[in-house]
């Protein structure tokens, strides 16, 4: 082993962990459009959110402070797995024979196995402080439900999760993990809510949807001041909590004297991507570096590259405030790709706004190419990635091969937002040759698009 | 957060990683008994092992060197996840309200999610150096098969795994993970070997067993000099490769100025336990510390606490050299507890010998108590443990509560040898109240015991 071989891991001590979240909003050249009340079409105010969220989070949602101190109690929990490791992908570089230097920031070391606890812990904490006794939420594949159950266990809150029926049946391991962390979990639609009962009355065998599960979780939270609702992506405060990822990554790259030429992340709701990218965008706006910022979305749900930028609902049922975002229409149902966390009809309003400002690029990639890269990554780096970050890895491999073509020593930083230990059925499907690259004809979204509210 | 609060994680840099394995044999007050050839009952020599193992590993098996240099190529792979973290269990300590300080060494950060790659990588390397093209092995629950497939991917070896049929069908995620790392996997019994075909002819629906799977893997390796066989526990060289765990743990505890009062580990074949304990035993023999060393075995397979110390076969079919070990009889079939990795009829000869020398203690615990502790651990420390190390955790909790009772600041170090992400069905069973604590009447082993060879 050569003495000057670079370390594979770039670690920070707990005392080096950042103690503030970064709010990119005040640094942007133009403010993002307000959310609108769906009835009045007036800008939505704190009172509109109060039945669902604690005031501290509502204030963070609209804050113009550049930095917000992370509470000591949240820092103490973060220290269970943070600072998260950054890796130099020496094995993948060798396999690609690229002059690029590839770094990845790995969030799979968290209790839930993804970046989701970064915001779950913060949300549980602020709810606890304001006297809330229980949090409700929806979950699809189960990452978010797991993260919230874990966070609630630590702050002695009850946690009730409505999981989309089809996932509930297909992914019993996720359900068991939520229960292990002390969460109560129901398949959605359930007979516990009016929303659920209505769906079951019409269709007793309904496989459920994220939209229905949101309706159930919200219905159980809204009327009871001791019960609140928690959302795992999309909103400003959620993205802000994730900036701990990018702040750490800045410190880690500085330790090895690197500045990135390109940042690559996958986008679903946008929280993992924003969490990595926003601190680097700050440095770019300040003239300290000039990375290209590249979002990779699934070809089957391409909200940034194929959607429109318009006011739309956050949920399928059309009950949330209207948010200006890139959307495929709130009633668009994506094909069943394995990256369940990327199957969202819209993009975080803040990411959408930044995209419109020309501060980032986006591409869409089909899932077989993503799993090609995911398997190559597993065999060279030893970590089996979740289906979502295989999109970031496919984008990274493309960048590394471009660098090879150009003969350039490009520095690539990517976000490996979670492991795939509970998603191995997707790999089974891939190895069986049964993974489908769905077509995405324009007609697919037209019907849903016609129902985007005219504002 | 108080400035003098201890860190949750004790990390080593890659440059601090130990570069030698420790061989405890020459330091023992008496040498361990030799393995015997089953036909001649003469001590087994290198030639008896040559059809199955490369010469470098056979030499390690009988080595009297106290330290063996870890090859650079193995160190380079270890650096993908090593040094592994040690944690202070602050959350568990609070929950138990104990004056004990609890530390755990966590091997779940490895690619396979357990300690198994520590030896899989070494074995793959030495086989590669000696020109081997393919490794075969058996696997039960799948941890070992995953580790070997990963190691073979890195050294460009083929890997063929026979997995016990019942596990193959029940644990498709493990199978997918082995394939993701490039391994070829067959359910055992298979029609690819004479051993498998014979079993299938007698019982077409056979659920298989570890003994049958070993026979198949050995049959495919023995006649072909380019194909060797790899074993994941029990043998001296396997335990030695695992001492990297204990060597790191010594450095980590020294960093925080602690010496352990008690070491707690789970025992199946013994490699995880030996890996942690042997370096501490060296320090104890040298008079540098005086920890109690405690093995926890499952009440359903109590080879140390209920078995006899006798020469017996390593496999069910009775084809291996005879090894002197604590055994429940090579034809003993343990009840189907969820800790598949602890369902072995014998104990590593080296651990058995050390136990006879009075250098360690052993207790047996039922699986419901183990999962009680595992769930408490998950909810306070954020890591969902594999079923095997829940035994170590149950022993740790007992120790911590004893310290509380005695009002003593005991320092406990335990081995968390893997995560449970691919074992969540066991947690499902536990929460459903369907986990069985099996009785262990003496009659259970009598029949198997009568077939222990008289030597």
Contact B421 A421 (CB under 8 A): yes
Specify whether the CB–CB gap between B116 and B108 falls below 8 A.
no
Q: B5: helix, coil or strand?
A: coil
> Can you give the pLDDT at residue B445?
75
Specify whether the CB–CB gap between B13 and A11 falls below 8 A.
yes
The verdict on B388 and B309 lying in the same domain is yes
Q: Does B184 touch chain A (CB under 8 A)?
A: no
Q: How far is A422 from chain B (nearest CA, A)?
A: 7
Is the pLDDT at A435 greater than 80, yes or no?
yes
The closest alpha carbon to A453, from A348, A312, A353, belongs to: A312
Side-chain half-sphere CA neighbours of B125 within 13 A:
16
> Can you give the pLDDT at residue A447?
74
> Can you give the pLDDT at residue A1?
38
User: B157 vs A380, A449, B138, B178, B396, CA distance in Å?
Assistant: 14, 52, 16, 14, 39
* pLDDT tens, per residue, chain B with 455 residues: 344 689 999 999 999 999 999 999 999 999 999 999 988 999 998 888 999 999 999 999 999 999 999 999 999 999 999 999 999 999 999 999 999 999 999 999 999 999 999 999 999 999 999 999 999 999 988 999 999 999 999 999 999 999 989 889 888 899 999 999 999 999 999 999 999 999 999 999 988 888 889 889 999 998 899 999 999 999 999 999 999 999 999 999 999 999 999 999 999 999 999 999 999 999 999 999 999 999 999 999 999 999 999 999 988 778 889 999 999 998 888 888 898 889 888 999 999 999 999 999 999 999 999 999 999 999 999 999 999 999 999 999 999 999 999 999 999 999 999 999 999 999 999 999 999 999 888 887 777 788 888 87
Contact B14 A1 (CB under 8 A): no
Specify whether the CB–CB gap between A305 and A366 falls below 8 A.
no
More confident residue, A47 or B395: B395
What is the widest separation between alpha-carbon atoms in chain A? 69
Q: Does B377 touch chain A (CB under 8 A)?
A: no
Contact A176 B428 (CB under 8 A): yes
The verdict on B232 and B248 lying in the same domain is no
> Can you give the pLDDT at residue A382?
97
Query: CB neighbours of A224 closer than 8 A, spacing ≥ 6?
Result: none
The verdict on A161 and A38 lying in the same domain is yes
Specify whether the CB–CB gap between B410 and A162 falls below 8 A.
no
The verdict on B366 and B249 lying in the same domain is yes
Q: What is the full DSSP assignment across B203-267?
A: -TT----HHHHHHHHHHHHTT-TTEEE---SSSHHHHHHTHHHHHHHHHHHHHTT---SEEEEE-
Q: Does A111 touch chain B (CB under 8 A)?
A: yes
This prediction's pTM:
0.96
Q: Does A154 touch chain B (CB under 8 A)?
A: yes
User: pLDDT tens digits, residue range B142-193?
Assistant: 999 999 999 999 999 999 999 989 889 888 899 999 999 999 999 999 999 9
Contact A379 B182 (CB under 8 A): yes
Domain with residue B353: its CATH number is: 3.40.50.1100
The verdict on B217 and B362 lying in the same domain is no
Length of chain A: 455
Q: Does A255 touch chain B (CB under 8 A)?
A: no
DSSP B421: T
Note whether residue B454 is domain-resident.
no
> Can you give the pLDDT at residue A314?
87
Look at residues B188, B221, B236 and tell me which one is the last residue of a structural domain: B236
The verdict on B298 and B400 lying in the same domain is yes
Note whether residue A434 is domain-resident.
yes
Mean pLDDT estimate for chain A: 94
Look at residues A188, A207, A236 and tell me which one is the last residue of a structural domain: A236
Specify whether the CB–CB gap between B141 and B341 falls below 8 A.
yes
Q: How many other β-carbons are positioned within 10 Å of the β-carbon of residue A284? A: 18
The verdict on B90 and B162 lying in the same domain is no
Cα gap A105→A396, rounded to integer Å: 13
The verdict on B262 and B187 lying in the same domain is no
Judging contacts by C-beta atoms under 8 Å, the chain B residues touching residue A79 are 7-9
Interface of A with B in 204-243 (CB under 8 A): none
Is the pLDDT at A333 greater than 50, yes or no?
yes
Q: How many other β-carbons are positioned within 10 Å of the β-carbon of residue B223? A: 8
Q: Does B422 touch chain A (CB under 8 A)?
A: yes
> Can you give the pLDDT at residue B447?
75
User: pLDDT tens digits, residue range A258-313?
Assistant: 999 999 999 999 999 999 999 999 999 999 999 999 999 999 999 999 999 999 99
> Can you give the pLDDT at residue B425?
92
The closest alpha carbon to A165, from A186, A136, A135, A143, belongs to: A186
Interface of A with B in 301-340 (CB under 8 A): none
Note whether residue B4 is domain-resident.
no
Side-chain half-sphere CA neighbours of A368 within 13 A:
9
- Tokens 């034809």, located at residue: B331
Note whether residue B368 is domain-resident.
yes
Q: How many other β-carbons are positioned within 10 Å of the β-carbon of residue A454? A: 6
Judging contacts by C-beta atoms under 8 Å, the chain B residues touching residue A146 are none
Cα gap B178→B218, rounded to integer Å: 19
Q: Which of A153, A419, A427 faces B379 most closely, judged by CB atoms?
A: A153
Note whether residue B2 is domain-resident.
no
Is the pLDDT at A443 greater than 90, yes or no?
no
The closest alpha carbon to B419, from B139, B92, B143, belongs to: B143
The verdict on A100 and A169 lying in the same domain is no
Query: CB neighbours of B428 closer than 8 A, spacing ≥ 6?
Result: A172, A175, A176, A179
Is the pLDDT at A3 greater than 70, yes or no?
no
Q: B38: helix, coil or strand?
A: coil
Domain count, chain B: 2
The verdict on B225 and B361 lying in the same domain is no
**A291-302 b/e (C-beta count within 10 Å ≥ 16 → b):** bebbbbbbbbbb
Q: How far is B31 from chain A (nearest CA, A)?
A: 35
Pairing of β B308-313 and β A20-22: unpaired
Cα gap B24→B41, rounded to integer Å: 26
Judging contacts by C-beta atoms under 8 Å, the chain A residues touching residue B121 are none
The closest alpha carbon to B317, from B326, B330, B307, B329, belongs to: B330
Is the pLDDT at A353 greater than 70, yes or no?
yes
The verdict on A399 and A333 lying in the same domain is yes
Note whether residue B362 is domain-resident.
yes
What value does the mean pLDDT take over residues A391-402?
98
B445, two tokens:
């082993």
Q: B360: helix, coil or strand?
A: coil
The verdict on A52 and A103 lying in the same domain is no
Specify whether the CB–CB gap between A48 and A37 falls below 8 A.
yes
Q: Which long-range contacts (CB under 8 A, 24 or more apart) does B309-314 make?
A: B309/B352, B309/B356, B310/B452, B310/B455, B311/B36, B311/B452, B311/B453, B311/B455, B312/B345, B312/B346, B312/B452, B312/B453, B313/B38, B313/B453, B314/B234, B314/B346
Q: Does B198 touch chain A (CB under 8 A)?
A: no
User: B275 vs A187, A265, A303, CA distance in Å?
Assistant: 43, 39, 51
User: pLDDT tens digits, residue range A137-163?
Assistant: 999 889 999 999 999 999 999 999 999
> Can you give the pLDDT at residue B134?
98
User: pLDDT tens digits, residue range A171-188?
Assistant: 889 999 999 999 999 999
Note down the domain range covering B28. 21-67+115-236
Note whether residue B421 is domain-resident.
yes
What value does the mean pLDDT take over residues A391-405?
98
> Can you give the pLDDT at residue B1?
38
Side-chain half-sphere CA neighbours of B198 within 13 A:
9
User: pLDDT tens digits, residue range B270-326?
Assistant: 999 999 999 999 999 999 999 999 999 999 999 999 999 999 998 877 888 999 999
Judging contacts by C-beta atoms under 8 Å, the chain A residues touching residue B78 are none
Nearest CA in chain A to B421: A421
Judging contacts by C-beta atoms under 8 Å, the chain A residues touching residue B7 are 13-15, 79
Specify whether the CB–CB gap between A328 and A300 falls below 8 A.
no
> Can you give the pLDDT at residue B4?
67
Q: How many other β-carbons are positioned within 10 Å of the β-carbon of residue A358? A: 8
> Can you give the pLDDT at residue B38?
87
Q: Which of B11, B174, B179 faces A431 most closely, judged by CB atoms?
A: B179
> Can you give the pLDDT at residue B317?
76
Nearest CA in chain B to A89: B80
> Can you give the pLDDT at residue B2?
43
> Can you give the pLDDT at residue B314?
87
User: pLDDT tens digits, residue range A199-240?
Assistant: 999 999 988 888 789 889 999 998 899 999 999 999 999 999
DSSP element (H, E) containing B143: helix B143-154
Cα gap B231→B235, rounded to integer Å: 8
User: B253 vs A254, B11, B94, B246, B360, CA distance in Å?
Assistant: 29, 10, 20, 10, 21
Query: CB neighbours of A182 closer than 8 A, spacing ≥ 6?
Result: A149, A152, A153, A159, B379
Is the pLDDT at A2 greater than 50, yes or no?
no
Specify whether the CB–CB gap between A362 and A297 falls below 8 A.
yes
Cα gap A183→B120, rounded to integer Å: 37
Note whether residue A74 is domain-resident.
no
Q: Tell which of A71, A180, A374, A381 to mutate to test the B interface (max B CBs under 10 Å).
A: A180
Look at residues A217, A236, A255 and tell me which one is the last residue of a structural domain: A236
């Amino acid at each position: 082993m050569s003495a000057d071989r670079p370390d594979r891991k770039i670690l920070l001590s707990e005392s080096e962990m950042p103690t503030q979240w970064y709010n990119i909003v005040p640094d942007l050249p133009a403010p993002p459009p307000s959310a609108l009340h769906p009835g009045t079409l007036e800008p939505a105010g704190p009172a509109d959110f109060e039945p669902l969220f604690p005031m501290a989070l509502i204030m963070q949602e609209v804050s113009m402070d550049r930095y917000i101190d992370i509470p000591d109690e949240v820092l103490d929990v973060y220290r269970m797995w943070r600072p998260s490791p950054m890796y130099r992908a020496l094995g993948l570089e060798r396999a690609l024979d690229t002059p690029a230097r590839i770094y990845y920031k790995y969030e799979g070391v968290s209790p839930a196995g993804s970046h989701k606890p970064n915001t779950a812990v913060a949300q549980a904490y602020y709810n606890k402080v304001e006297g809330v006794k229980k949090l409700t939420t929806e979950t699809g594949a189960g990452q978010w439900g797991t993260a919230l159950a874990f966070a609630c266990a630590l702050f002695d809150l009850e946690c009730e999760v409505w999981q989309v029926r089809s996932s509930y049946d297909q992914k019993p391991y996720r359900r068991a993990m939520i229960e292990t962390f002390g969460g109560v979990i129901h398949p959605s639609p359930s007979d516990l809510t009016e929303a659920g009962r209505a769906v079951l009355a019409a269709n007793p065998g309904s496989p459920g949807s994220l939209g229905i599960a949101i309706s159930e979780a919200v219905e159980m939270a809204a009327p009871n001041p001791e019960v609140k609702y928690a959302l795992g992506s999309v909103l400003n405060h959620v993205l802000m909590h994730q900036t701990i990822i990018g702040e750490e990554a800045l410190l880690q790259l500085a330790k090895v004297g690197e500045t990135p030429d390109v940042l690559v992340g996958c986008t679903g709701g946008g929280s993992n991507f924003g969490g990595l990218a926003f601190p680097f965008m700050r440095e770019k706006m300040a003239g300290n570096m000039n990375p290209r910022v590249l979002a990779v979305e699934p070809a089957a749900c391409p909200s940034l590259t194929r959607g429109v930028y318009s006011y739309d609902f956050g949920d399928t049922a059309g009950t949330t405030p209207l948010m200006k975002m890139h959307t495929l229409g709130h009633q668009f149902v994506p094909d069943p790709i394995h990256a369940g966390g990327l199957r969202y009809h819209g993009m975080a309003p803040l990411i959408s706004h930044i995209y419109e400002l020309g501060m980032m690029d986006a591409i869409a990639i089909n899932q077989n190419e993503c799993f090609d890269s995911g398997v190559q990554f597993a065999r060279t780096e030893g970590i089996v990635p979740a289906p979502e970050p295989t999109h970031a890895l496919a984008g990274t491999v493309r960048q590394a091969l471009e660098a090879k073509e150009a003969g350039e020593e490009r520095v690539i930083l990517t976000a490996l937002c979670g492991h795939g230990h509970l998603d191995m059925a997707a790999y089974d499907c891939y190895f069986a040759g049964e993974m489908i690259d769905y077509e995405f004809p324009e007609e697919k979204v037209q019907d849903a698009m016609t129902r985007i509210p005219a504002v």
